[in-house]
Amino acid sequence: MRILGLDVGERTIGVAVSDALGLTAQGLEVIRRRTWEEDVKRLREISEQYDVSTIVVGFPKNMNGTIGPQAQAAAAFAERLAAELGLPVKLWDERLTTMEAERLLLAADVSRSKRRKVIDKMAAVLILQSYLQAHPLSSMDRNW
Q: What is the pLDDT, as a whole number, of residue 107?
A: 74
Provide the angle, in degrees to the nearest 10, between the axes of the packed helices 36-49 and 69-85: 60
Assess contact for 41 and 55: CB atoms under 8 A: no
Q: What is the pLDDT, as a whole number, of residue 24?
A: 94
Q: Is the dihedral of CA 129, 67, 79, 41 positive or negative?
A: negative
For the chain, which domains are there? 2-134 (3.30.420.140)
| Cα–Cα distance, 55 to 46 (Å, whole number) | 11
**DSSP classification of residue 28:** E
Q: What is the pLDDT, as a whole number, of residue 143?
A: 42
pLDDT tens digits for range 23-58? 999 999 999 999 999 999 999 999 999 999 999 999
3-state secondary structure (DSSP) of residue 62: coil
pLDDT tens digits for range 76-95? 999 999 999 999 999 998 87
pTM: 0.83
